[in-house]
Structures are given as C-alpha cells and as structure tokens.
Structure 1
Amino acid sequence: GSFAAHRPTQRNYILTLSVTMAAVILWRTVVDRQFESPAYHYWLLLLVVLNCVILLKTGEQLHRTSRRNAELRYRNDQLIGSLIQQTDAALAAVTVKNRFLASAAHDIRQPVHALALYADWLRNEPDLAREITPKIVEATKAVNSLFDSLFDLARLDSGQVQVRVERIDVVRLLKDLELQYRPMAQARGLQFRLRLAPGCVLSDQILLKRVLGNLIANAIKYTASGGILVASRRDGNGMRIEVWDTGVGIAVDQRPEHLVDPGGRDAHQPLGRHLEH
C-alpha cells in the first residue's frame, strides 16, 4: 500500500532493478561470453526492457488506485465527521426545545392555577366580583404574555433568541406576580407579603418575570408554614429584588449551582428565609 502510494520510490525501484538485470546480461554476454548465440542476449535485453515498461505502467495504475482510495477514505472521514456534528447539533436543539417547553409549561401553569382559584373564590363569594374581576384580568394578561414568549421557540432553530430589553416598573411587575401567586400561597395557608421600593430596571420583562416566578413558586412549594416575602429596594444605582420564605433552607455547602430549575422539578431543595435570591 505505502509502496504503491509513493510513486517516485516505486519508479526508482523498478528502474534500478531493470538496469541491474540489463547490466548483468551485458556482462555475461560481452565479458564472460557465456551465451553461444549472439542474438540470445538481445532477446534477454528486450525482455528486460518490456518488463520494465510493464512494471512502470502497472505501478502507475496502482499509484492512481491507491491515491483514489486514500481520497475516498478522507472524504468519508469528513462526511462521517460532518454527520456526527449535525447529529449532535440536532440532539442539542431538541434538548433545548424540550427544556424550553418544560419551562413554558411550568410558567403557564402558575397563572392558570391562579385563575382557577379566583374563579372558585368568585363562585363562593359573588359579592366580591368587583375586587376579584381585575385580578382575573391581570392573570389572563399574564397567560397571554407567556404564550407570546412561546414564539421564542421558532428562533431556537437559528440560535437567535433575542432579549428584548425595556424599562420595567418594579412595583407593577411585583404586583402582577402577587396576583398570580398570592392565591397559591393562601391555598397552602401561607402569608404573601410585598415590601416595595419604587424604581425601574432595564431587562426583558418576560424573562425577568419567569425567573422571579420560579423563585416564588419554589418558595411556596417548599414552605410548610409561615409565609413568603417579596421585596424590592435600592442598591446603589440599581434595584435589588429579593424573595424570602420561612422554609427549612439549604446549607451553604449544599447549595447547587442553579437554585431554580425551569421545570420546577423536585430535585431542588426548599429555599429558607435566610436565603436571598
């Protein structure tokens, strides 16, 4: 294989062999005079020349075949590598989409649950319709905004999920979250309190609400008694948003890198009152 692939080595070997054979024949014919027929050595020389030509032609063909096979192997390796990369990229895209759908389903479940609680409350206390109706409207708006965020899924294919930065009123944002999560807290016998300092932040409203919603949902889920406190306060030139609860908390050496799982899975431990988010 390697001999046929290296054409100069192959050609030099054939020429050296043929010249050596011709030299031996001439030596035995002219010097030693071992051949009785004068024409016999010419026939031998002719055979040597023909053999040399045939070997050179055959070697050239072998060289071409070997080179073509090497090129095919190289192209096959490239094709296999490309297919592996495309497969990995496709699997990664599917994983991201699955995580996105799980996160979206988890986020949508919260305001829908709040709507169900408000509807049940309205059925049992029809006199409170004036108070409950605005809350139902706000919870419905929250569901609509979450459905709008599902359009980000179409942009996952091109890796262009865009963050829409806008000026957000922190007080209004946290009050919207209160409308969604207060019924859930009350259904578990928990207090839900806000401590608000006015201010604005620059962020993507849907993504920020999703992060805070996950924190509040986890706080409610893992708090057996007591309550939840959502607070905002000024921190230098910015704003600080905190979620506190009276759960058992997490030891410092046991806190995972990601405290909130987008899918709301039970793998994460409760968030204690001394844990700031």
Structure 2
Amino acid sequence: MNDEEDPSEQLPSRQSDLRRVVDKLRKINAALMKRVEHSMDQQASSFSLFQTAINQEAQIRRRTEELNLALTKLAHTNLELSKARDEAERANVFKTRFFTSVGHDLLQPLHAARLTLSELSDAQHEADNKRLALNISTALVSIEELLTSILDISKLEAGVFVPNIQSVILEAIFEQVANSLEPVARRKCLRFHWRKTDLAVRSDPLMLRRIVQNLLANAAHYTEAGGILLAARPRGDDVAIEVWDTGQGIPEQEQQRIFEEFQRGSASERLGSLGFGLGLAIVRRMADALGHRLELQSRVGHGSRFSVFAPSAAALAGARLPLGVSSNESNSFFARQVIVVDDDLTVLAAMQTLLSRWGADVRPARDLEDVGDILSDPTFSPAIVLADYHLDEGIFGIDIVRRIRRRLASDIPAILITADRTDAAAEAAMRSQCELLLKPIRPSELRALMKHLLG
C-alpha cells in the first residue's frame, strides 16, 4: 500500500502557487491599466487638439469674414475717393478753362479804360481832377494785378504752366522788364539800374520773365526812397539773378510767410499798402516748377535781396534781341506813322486818341480789308504796327503783321497786344519777331516799348 500525501502538507504549496498567479495577474492588470490610461490620455489629447482646431477654424472664419467686410468697405471708399478726385480734377480743369476763357473779356474793358483814363489825365489841368484821375488809375491797376495773379495761380494749380526749358539770354529779359519798371521808378523818384550781362541760363523764358517782373514790382512797391538794382552773377554751375532794394526790409520771422498766398509783411501795413500778397507766391510757385532755387536776404531798415538761381548756359553766338528792340532808346517817336488794328471800336478809338496825343499819325483798322485800304495810300508808310492778337473771324494780329510786312517788303517793328496769357501766344509772337504786351497795357509801358522799337 502506497503512502498518500498529507493534505496539511500540500496546502502551503498551493497557497504559494496562488500567490504567484495573483501577483502575475496584478502585474498584467497594472500593465493593462497603464495601457488603457495611456490610450485614454492620447484620446483626450487628440480630442483636445480637435476641439482647438475647431475653435481656431471658427476664429479664422470670423476673421476672414471681418477681413472681407473691411476689404469691401475699403473698395467702396476707394471708389468714392476716386470719384471725388475725378470730380475735383474736372472742377479744377473747368476753373482753369473758365478763368482762361473769361480772362480776355475781363481784361478787355480794363484795357480800354486804362487808355481812356491816360488821355483824360493828360487833358486835365486842375489839381483835383488830376488827383481823381490818378485815384481811378490806381484802382484799375489793383484790379488788373488781382485778375492777372488769380489767372496765374489757377494755371499753376492746374499744371497748365509746363516749363519749356531752353537757353535764355538774360540781357534780353532784363531790358524788357526794365521798360515796365522805369515809369514806376520815375514816379516814385527811385533810382533804378540794371547791369548789362552776357550770361545765359537754362530756363523757360516766359516764366523767368514773369518771376523777374514780380520781384521788381515787389521791390518798387515796398521801396519809398533810394533805389533798385537788377543784376546777374555767376555762382558755380548756376547764375544768380538778383533784385536789390533799399526798402523797409523784412523781419526774419516773416521771410517764409511772405511767399504764401495772400500774405503780406508788416512793412505793407506800415506803408498802408493795398497789395494782395500774390506776387511773391507766384514767384515761389514758378521757381519750384522750374527747379530754380529761391533765396531771400533782408535787414529791417536797410533793404532786401531776392535771388533766383538758374543753371548756367553758354550764351548763343550772335544772339540778338527780338526784331526792332534796340539798346539805344530815342527820346521821342513824335510824327511817326502808326497802324493800329483792333476789332473793338472802343479800344480802337482810345488807342487812336492816346497815340495822337503823343504826336503820332495813326491809322486805325479792324480787319485785313481796312489794312489794305490804308496801305493803298502811297503817302502813308507805317513805322510800326500795333495789333490785337485775337481778331474776329479767326484772324490773328500776326496775320495782319505778316500781310503788312509782305506788302511793304520790310520787317517793320510790330507789337501784339492781347489778354491771352498762354505760352502759345508768346511763342507765336516770338516766332514772328513781334513784341508782346498783355492787356490791360500801361500807357507808359507802351510808350517806352515804342521808343525802343522806333529808336
């Protein structure tokens, strides 16, 4: 008989096996729990990322909608601004065309009035009547200066003044502007001197002439005693065109402001000046358009010096002044025969009376037919022609001058008188070797120019 194991001895062995199994199951369970927890963490992280992505997508959608809305508003705003800009440009062009169109009509009656008033003033002998005539003349000059300045400002704003850069001989410009200033200087008992020069610059001749004219007019306006000097000096690669005066001077704090529109210095108030403060504004704008540097040096109580710096240019060999302009001025043109052409009877009558009072033998004409009748008289040989630039039926004063010159086979001097301030009119006069005077003309200026041409 085999001996059987005692159950009491087998119990510890089983318990030990069970413990090992339980430990193993616990380890497996722990491993499984770690995997489950890791998987749940990953799922939670993925869900969190998913939620974040959804939120970011929503934010991007909202921002995109806001951006699209802003772009739409910006497009509408740009369209409105573009329309407003186009309207402003059309209005500016209309304004310029309006001023240019009405310029002739506005200045024509002033032209006739100035001529008639000159005749009236010469005919007066009583001091009170002369004083009244002088007051009227001063008022007409103020109106003329204001209209001319407004026309220039409007053209500069609209960009109508397009510089025609070329070589410009300064002596020709100096002599022309001196003719305009000399009567004013004599009336105010000022010494006026301009220095002859062989210098030339690169500039627009018409705009440069207007700059020098305005600077001289400003100097004469604010100078009560002493004198005015116009000169040109080489300054490196430039030429400095200088206008000196012995006027009141300009305080340093005002030296920039006086170049702004409708600004006048304290000297204007002291002198009781009625100027409009546009002359120097036009100078600055034209100098900017030409690229010319503008400088001012002034001392209160001593005077001022305005300088315009233009690029130097070699003077043209054999260059001469326009036809008939002579550097030797004669003292008189009395008893000279003159043809005056104008389609305005009022202007024609005033011009005939004025020139006749100066002693000239005047023959008035309104058109080519009248000119033909005048030239058919063998006893009449005109020494000079004064012609309005724009005549009826599309005829130009230049056409009249050419007809007269061909008929006489002589390049007799001619002056074109016009309210047309365009470059085209000035260039046409220059090509035809005619002088140009802008309405309303000053009788003293006309007289001085005629003296030069008939010298």
More strand by share: 2
TM norm structure 2 = 0.32
The structure having more radius of gyration, on CA atoms, is 2
More helix by share: 1
